[in-house]
Structure 1
């Protein structure tokens, strides 16, 4: 076993604090990664505070991980020491079910194994990227193209793929009207990706305070949802709306913005239930759907797409001792647009 420095939560109410965690010895198909940067996702906060159900403590979160291969198992063929690599929201799956065979491991019928707070196939509880090193099966390790700066690549492993997958699945591209609800960690990636795919992009944000940023990132239009006129002006407009907000919203108001056959896709995951009026769906043959990250193949496709189109997350790099402050700033929407932890500071 390898003992490494980390930051972890000891309960749902205590701040994260320095600690050590154990990483398994390298198996034949394992890759040891020296972590360079780890992004902070709203999911980390929900999980460590047991807002999505009881978590296992101590818990080191983090599923936006980039670093360098520091060691490989004897049977590893796809990665070599020194490679730039990343790990996203999952580290294993059953490999046998229909969804795994399709390359959609995120929908594994036996339950995909999350990067943290999940039980791996060997019975151990997974620990995430708020640490100096991680050991991951080679099939769940991704190549990070040289064209993407390390620190800006980390959030792509969650925020990037979480928005790329529904945009691809619902056909964002030339001739399509796409709206993005919220311009935060997920939303800013959705804008950049939808623009690069050729769609006409509209940001729907609570206020206009980030309008200049949204237009710079590729949005064609920007509206404030706090203005009731927005919902009248845009009624029946969009082929696809991607809701990136992790708080309760008025789903029915957004459904009315869809064109016939349009889809409202939730990628934000609020803890509270969302209420939907059936007639909002029936009268326009509309769809209310959800989407969960992407499979390994699609995640690699997303990284390569970002490298090709010069897309990266916009980040604020912090030291490990600022994690708890960063959590509060995320909840206050005080970040543009993703916090990324410098993993070297876990050793301080």
Structure 2
């Protein structure tokens, strides 16, 4: 698409203030630079982080804001300095859309931990002062390094959530060294957890335990490949499962979460991976129990462009699939309400 046919202003669904429905809003994107690409958005997943940010749950939201960082679309414009991408190519953009490129983290392919100038795909600020806006929109403009080609084996609706939910669950399991011979537990069988179960299997784990608060998700867990299902609030089940898990991926934390029970599931030298971020802090860790079993905690933040590329390759190879329900982009307010009401099974994806 010639540059002169791309609108000067993009149009998205924006929150103009806290606790307000999203409305259509036209805005000027960052100035186009020769290392940028423009993407016509076809799909955008709804993430829990979107809800937190729209509601100012982490107290750092600047309004108006267009959320959405699980983006898939078609490249319609490329700058002269763009390498490896071309007009017409299908790509995705995740939580991050720029970094300094110079700090030790960026130079070691850990741009997601950039210490100088990391820019989130929405609610961020580029080096020229322009604000970043996300994927509940018709177009997005980003530096090409943060746009990742989507493998042909993955359809666009399924690919979109992989750019956040996918890499958020993939990375800690990779860093924990999940492999054949290991036992993995996944707390929560939802938007993150249903992917965690599949990643553990794809990485070769011998035994995967799905852990939830009720029986409702048991059939889904079994279909996803879980070998065992535990009720976290059933003392007898927790007791029988003592010292049976090497790596525990915690994707959701509720007020009733008892970390002492979760620690009791861990083998000596086990690793607890925290990826579910609450509005507030984690508490309730039992230090003595953790010391007695040499338990370590691993945290991670999304993934770098190279991490996303390798994750997509594994998803295509092992047929990891996101369970999605597609909704029209114009239905975004209703979809967000359903997300808040925990009706998603397991991810909503908006379509243009």
Please list the CA deviations of residues 90-120 of structure 1 after superposition, one character each: whole Å capped at 9, or x if unmatched. Answer: 0011111111111111111225211000111
Quick one: distance in 2 between partners of 1:104 and 1:61? 24
1:263 alignment counterpart:
271
TM-score normalised by L of structure 2? 0.94
Indicate yes or no: 2:23 matched with 1:17. yes
- Residue 189 of structure 1: how far off its partner (Å): 0.7
Q: Secondary structure of the residue that 2:83 maps to in structure 1?
A: coil
User: Are the equivalent residues in 2 in contact too, given 1:156–1:312 (CA < 8 A)?
Assistant: no
Match of 2:293 among 281, 284, 288: 284
Please list the CA deviations of residues 6-49 of structure 1 after superposition, one character each: whole Å capped at 9, or x if unmatched. Answer: 10101111111222222234311111101010000000000111
1:38 alignment counterpart:
44
Quick one: distance in 2 between partners of 1:23 and 1:264? 40
- Residue 332 of structure 1: how far off its partner (Å): 2.4
Q: Write out aligned runs for 1:150-299 (5 A).
A: 150-199=156-205, 200-245=207-252, 247-248=254-255, 249-275=257-283, 276-299=285-308
Note the residue ranges of structure 1 that are not aligned, 5 or more in a row. none
Indicate yes or no: 2:13 matched with 1:7. yes
1:55 alignment counterpart:
61
Quick one: distance in 1 between partners of 2:101 and 2:272? 30
Indicate yes or no: 2:123 matched with 1:117. yes
1:322 alignment counterpart:
331
Note the residue ranges of structure 2 that are not aligned, 5 or more in a row. 1-6
1:137 alignment counterpart:
143
Q: Secondary structure of the residue that 1:125 maps to in structure 2?
A: coil
Quick one: distance in 1 between partners of 2:60 and 2:169? 27
- Residue 191 of structure 1: how far off its partner (Å): 0.8
Quick one: distance in 1 between partners of 2:331 and 2:240? 42
User: Are the equivalent residues in 2 in contact too, given 1:24–1:135 (CA < 8 A)?
Assistant: yes
- Residue 177 of structure 1: how far off its partner (Å): 0.5
2:3 alignment counterpart:
none
Please list the CA deviations of residues 118-145 of structure 1 after superposition, one character each: whole Å capped at 9, or x if unmatched. Answer: 1112111110000010011011110100
TM-score normalised by L of structure 1? 0.95
Q: Secondary structure of the residue that 2:66 maps to in structure 1?
A: coil
- Residue 280 of structure 1: how far off its partner (Å): 2.4
- Residue 320 of structure 1: how far off its partner (Å): 2.5
Q: Secondary structure of the residue that 1:185 maps to in structure 2?
A: coil
Quick one: distance in 1 between partners of 2:250 and 2:261? 12
Q: Secondary structure of the residue that 1:158 maps to in structure 2?
A: helix
Match of 1:305 among 308, 314, 323: 314
Q: Secondary structure of the residue that 2:289 maps to in structure 1?
A: helix
CA RMSD, 1 decimal: 1.3
Indicate yes or no: 2:103 matched with 1:97. yes
